[in-house]
Amino acid sequence: MPYSSSHMATRIIILAAGNSTRMNGVPKMLLEIRGKPMLQCVVDAAVTSGVDVKPVVVVGKNEKMIRAMLGDRCEYVIQEQQLGTGHAVQCAVNTLRDTVNAVAVLYGDNPLVASGTIRRLVEAHVQSVSAITMLTTAIPDFEDWRKPFYDFGRIVRDAQGKIERSVEKKDASPEELDIKELNPSFYCFNAVWLRDHLPKIEQHNAQHECYLTDLVQMAIAEGSKFETIPVSPKEAIGVNTAEQLEIVRKLSEEK
């Protein structure tokens, strides 16, 4: 069932501008999961959720390929330079109307995210009136098909269960690396808060990339309202390698 008109002020941004990793000669976003390109899986879930009937897809050098695949089902924003996820979202937000009051961010290489999960994320955000609402996923270990999660950011909570920070693997202490509540980077933002804070993201490393995950720490540091809701690990897993592609294909058969 579609959202009411008040909820339609929420837009979905799908990040798909990264230089496509080619596996067996096929561009990453065209790699198929159960006979469907993985990016199309994400777009289908976004549209079926009822949150945004025409999501915004951020594209780069792969623009022609993605437009040919998706046609007019989506709006397109070009990220001319690959300057990180924060920059990609900034490119898209700059095209949105001021009447948009919430922005959900998904990734084109997370093909198993369900439409119901997207809707649940946005509903939780609308009800909580938070700066950020994000999904987190919990696993029992990093074995078997869960190995890819070892590279995810860890969710650090205090003794009362309140989130203190999301720490990237490269910055995590040995104790933090043992944490098994993880950040798959699915977010819904208050649009005004997002517009105000995106320019504050600092550029990291020699590539001058801006990371969307920095917004989590900004919200926590300034005391802005911040919510987390759980998501199944099988929906959170993404595709960056041929091995992960096979994992996702097997998991998709179990859905």
What residues does each domain of the chain span? Answer: 7-254
Mean pLDDT of the chain: 90
* C-alpha Rg value of the chain to the nearest Å: 17
φ/ψ of residue 78, rounded to 5: -95, 125
Q: Which of 40-49, 80-89, 126-135, 193-202 has the lowest mean pLDDT?
A: 80-89
Confidence of residue 6 (pLDDT cuts 50, 70, 90): very low
Compute the distance between CA of residue 105 and CA of residue 82 in angstroms, rounded to an integer: 17
| Confidence grade of residue 120 (pLDDT, cut at 50, 70, 90) | very high
Q: What single DSSP character describes residue 238? A: -
Residue 75 CB burial class (10 angstroms; 0-12, 13-18, ≥19): middle
Residue 209 has pLDDT above 80, yes or no: no
Helical packing angle, 63-70 and 38-48, nearest 10°: 50
Q: Which of 26-35, 107-116, 122-131, 213-222 has the lowest mean pLDDT?
A: 26-35
Whole-number pLDDT of residue 13: 98
Contacts for 199-206 with beta carbons within 8 Å, 24 or more apart?
199/90, 201/86, 203/83, 203/84, 204/84
Q: Measure the CA–CA gap between 104 and 52, rounded to whole angstroms.
A: 10
User: Residue 139: pLDDT above 60?
Assistant: yes
The pLDDT of residue 4 is: 37
pLDDT band at 230 (very low <50, low <70, confident <90, very high): very high
Find, among 214, 251, 216, 246, the residue nearest to 236 by Cα: 251
Instruction: Give me the pLDDT at residue 62, please.
Output: 85
Output the pLDDT for position 24.
Answer: 65
Tokens 């309140």 label which residue? Answer: 162
Per-residue confidence (pLDDT) for residue 171, from 0 to 100: 86
Examine the pLDDT at 135 and tell me if it is beyond 90: yes
Q: Write out the E strands in the chain.
A: 10-15, 32-33, 36-37, 56-59, 75-78, 102-107, 132-138, 153-157, 163-167, 181-183, 187-190, 203-204, 209-210, 226-230
pLDDT, residue 108, reads 94
Q: Supply the pLDDT for residue 122.
A: 96
**Residues in a beta bridge with 75:** 56
On whether the CB atoms of residues 43 and 57 are closer than 8 A, the answer is yes
> Do 198 and 151 form a contact (C-beta atoms < 8 A)?
no
pLDDT at 84: 86
pLDDT at 160 > cutoff 50: yes
Reported as a single tens digit per residue, the pLDDT across 35-86 is: 999 999 999 999 999 999 999 999 988 889 999 999 999 999 999 887 889 9
Percentage of residues of the chain with pLDDT beyond 70: 92
Max Cα separation, the chain? Answer: 51
pTM above 0.75, yes or no: yes
Burial grade of 20 (CB within 10 A; 0-12, 13-18, 19 or more) = buried
Separation between Cα atoms, residue 42 and residue 38, nearest integer Å: 7
Pairing of strands 226-230, 132-138: parallel
Type of residue numbered 188 = C
| 7-254 fold | Spore Coat Polysaccharide Biosynthesis Protein SpsA; Chain A (3.90.550)
In whole angstroms, what is the distance from residue 238 CA to residue 247 CA? 9
